[in-house]
Structure 1
């Protein structure tokens, strides 16, 4: 029997807690139905007898308080809402409990922005971690010692797991079900819950916003030029000259301010513009390519797929719903 402790943190949300528990209990029912014994003993664990959830007038009564859990095989940290620093402060007892349980051999899994609580334990320092793509900049600013995996749905390193954002949570739960049960149970569960099993990237959902929460005005000027001139072709030297910096100094300061190299930033801005055009216009792929300053079809398609996980045609088929009328 695998003991699963689903943590109910302060500021947590109800839907992920409920569905995660339901998925593990559903696997138990599948196993019983096939003549086997149930595998998971699932408990909700919290700091107090009554936990106020963030999304509406909901209260949860945990099965156990954290100090009542002597040992467990797996801890699941659901996402929270609101200010991350305030959430970490409010959950210090739970953070210390996670660390203590991990030292006893428990594995730990964070779902979506539950990665912020996971990172606050220090257990992923120097290790890989995933979170919701929309909070990557916040995560890097708070936890620079963690190796954030852009776009990854599931990370797994030394018995510590994390997932991408929103519905990516369920892919990590399926991953854990396959690990603890078997592939058959994971597939059956994915079909029952209508989850696309083995999805590996959240990149196609990501929207690049640029990192401007810094004080380097020269770099902000360069960012604004890149974003306002996506149709142009320019080099790193061109941009450095425009903001009156030497190339080496410009590249160093750009990386420090934005967490991207200059070339990465240019590519991501151009591909974000291409994505918006593909989603909402009747233009063909070559027209979109020229509009964002690319002339080499192979280079454009390669860069587009590297960033989004899809080819331009696949992206168009997935997201373009423009009514072309009757031909």
Structure 2
């Protein structure tokens, strides 16, 4: 393939954001349930939900169908900032590290690229992440304690005005730590799983191959990243009472969580987390691959995989 047949860098970011937003529209209810379950039983109090299905029942009874999409605007903004950045950086670096004969980079290089892409995306996306956590958690609070953000823009403005600029980056450390773990696992193992599945199962390039590779990647990602995700969720949702915060930092969250709720609480809400991250990984990569193919078809009159393919 000639050197000119590449997806422009700005389109890599645009396609990444669009793929993330499309995936989020489908799996947002699971993200909400995951966040609610991770906040349940804080401080050793009685758990609000027995399991994922009980949480879904409670949300449905109390808030109706719209309750499952509470905070969707923040979720979409998160995809524009976080996913757009991380996939844009990843696909750009993936292309740059290809060998001269067009072979993809090795597994360790993919992992390193994924880690850097995740770190970049997490820093850019933390304000949207803080808004998302708070908006999805609001419905579980007593009416008098709810923040009642009108939307993601209202959330960002109020957080800035009421709590200061740096509150928008509250939990940035575990967010970036989680992103490093997620992207090292997700982006690195997706590309590797795709190659292995294609080789061992003789699957051709297509949605079936993308689906299997993404579900394998999603499971590994969930196991590795969930403790950091819980630390991030609790830090970003916490309130400061009388000038004293509930947690000193991400390590304190994990220590208190293990001490008060048990070791396996580090993976509290694993099922909705995996059912969210697995299909979201599937949808994001499927949409991204299709956007890439559509570009080559529109630009060059074919559906070649080109340098923008993962």
Query: TM-score normalised to the size of structure 2?
Result: 0.25
Structure with greater strand percent:
1
Query: TM-score normalised to the size of structure 1?
Result: 0.24
Structure with greater helix percent:
2
Question: RCO higher in 1 or 2 (8 Å CA, sep ≥ 6)?
Answer: 2
